[in-house]
């Protein structure tokens, strides 16, 4: 089975209940076609880069799923049937990138991160207080090497 991801832009003027219904319908199409939903990620309302059907905003969501080759076609027909879907894109992950991602994930899990070193504690220093008069008196005194 291949791993796919579909990213969908919906009409942002829809009530939240209808948005959730479309997301649930997407999951239902995937499971009915023999696939398995891995993650559902709601990106929320975002400004579009350019107007689509005279709309400046869209509600984005992404679904990652495992399945056979017929699932993207089933999703395509579902999205084309629904007028509230502004745009969609379904793509398959590259097998080599998947292997690299899983390898990286395994190494990240096995590598122990060292505990951070405690912050160094500053040692207290002696504070020398002089009055202005004492400082001037020291500068006025002649040095022993100087001849008067």
Partners of 52 in the β-ladder: 55
> What pTM was computed for the model?
0.65
Q: Which residues of 11-29 are buried (b: 16+ CB within 10 A; e: fewer)?
A: bbeeeeeebeebbeebeeb
**Between β-strands 55-67 and 2-11, what pairing exists: parallel, antiparallel or unpaired?**
antiparallel
H or E segment and range at residue 21: helix 16-32
Q: 85 has which bridge partners?
A: 10
- For the domain made up of 2-97, the CATH class stated in words is alpha beta
Quickly tell me which residue has 């990138």 as its tokens: 97
Where do the H-state alpha helices sit in 33-143?
71-81, 95-110, 132-140
pLDDT of residue 111: 67
CA dihedral 85, 86, 92, 94 (to 10 degrees): -150
Q: What is the pLDDT along the chain (148 residues), one digit of tens a residue?
A: 888 999 999 999 999 999 999 999 999 999 999 999 999 999 999 999 999 999 999 999 999 999 888 999 999 999 999 999 999 999 988 877 777 777 777 777 776 666 677 777 777 766 666 676 676 777 666 656 655 4
pLDDT value of position 55? 92
pLDDT of residue 96: 74
Domain residues of the chain, as ranges?
2-97
Tell me the backbone φ, ψ of residue 95, rounded to 5 degrees: -60, -40
């Amino acid at each position: 089975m291949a791993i796919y991801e579909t990213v969908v832009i919906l009409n942002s003027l829809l009530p939240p209940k209808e948005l959730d219904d479309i997301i649930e319908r997407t999951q239902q199409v995937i499971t009915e076609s023999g696939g398995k939903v891995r993650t559902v990620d709601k990106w929320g309302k975002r400004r579009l880069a350019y107007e689509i059907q005279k709309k400046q905003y869209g509600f984005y969501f992404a679904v990652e799923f495992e399945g056979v080759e017929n699932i993207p076609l089933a999703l395509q027909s579902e999205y084309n049937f629904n007028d509230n879907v502004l745009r969609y894109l379904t793509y398959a992950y590259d097998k080599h990138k998947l292997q690299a991602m899983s390898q990286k994930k395994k190494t990240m899990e096995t590598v122990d991160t060292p505990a951070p070193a405690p912050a160094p504690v500053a040692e207290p220093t002696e504070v020398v207080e002089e009055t202005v008069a004492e400082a001037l008196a020291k500068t006025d005194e002649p040095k022993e090497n100087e001849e008067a």
